[in-house]
Amino acid sequence: MNSSTPAERLNGTRTGHICDRCNKSIRTGDLVRAYATYYDHDGWMLRRTWCEDCGDSTINESTDGADEVILEAVFWNHRLVSVETRDRSRPTTGVEQ
């Protein structure tokens, strides 16, 4: 484990420019939401990117055993920037993954 938050770890992550829910094109400067999960060997993995209209802001039904996070970010040149955590399935314990 390291001391950075999921938002810090995923800041700068490359992503596609199409909303994973409605297929709308996402443009540079748009606000987006994203879903990621934590895997022991691979760290945080980005799973979905949504436009502002489609993005979830909470984790409704968490996956058993998985640490999941919903993020809000700015889409900039196919990367997530200014990433902030909106919801996380596991409470933080002072030492982040």
pTM summary value: 0.85
How many domains would you assign to the chain?
Answer: 1
Confidence of residue 62 (pLDDT cuts 50, 70, 90): low
**Residue 34 within a domain:** yes
Q: What are phi and psi of 67, to 5 degrees?
A: -95, 120
**Residue 94 within a domain:** no
Instruction: Collapse the DSSP code of 47 into the 3-class scheme (helix H, G, I; strand E, B; otherwise coil) and give the result.
Output: strand
Average pLDDT over residues 59-88: 90
Range of the domain at 54: 6-88
* N-term to C-term CA, the chain: 5
Indicate the average pLDDT of the chain: 88
**Residue 17 within a domain:** yes
- Check residue 56 and give its pLDDT: 84
Sheet holding 79-88, edge to edge: 43-51, 31-39, 67-76, 79-88
Average pLDDT over residues 65-81: 93
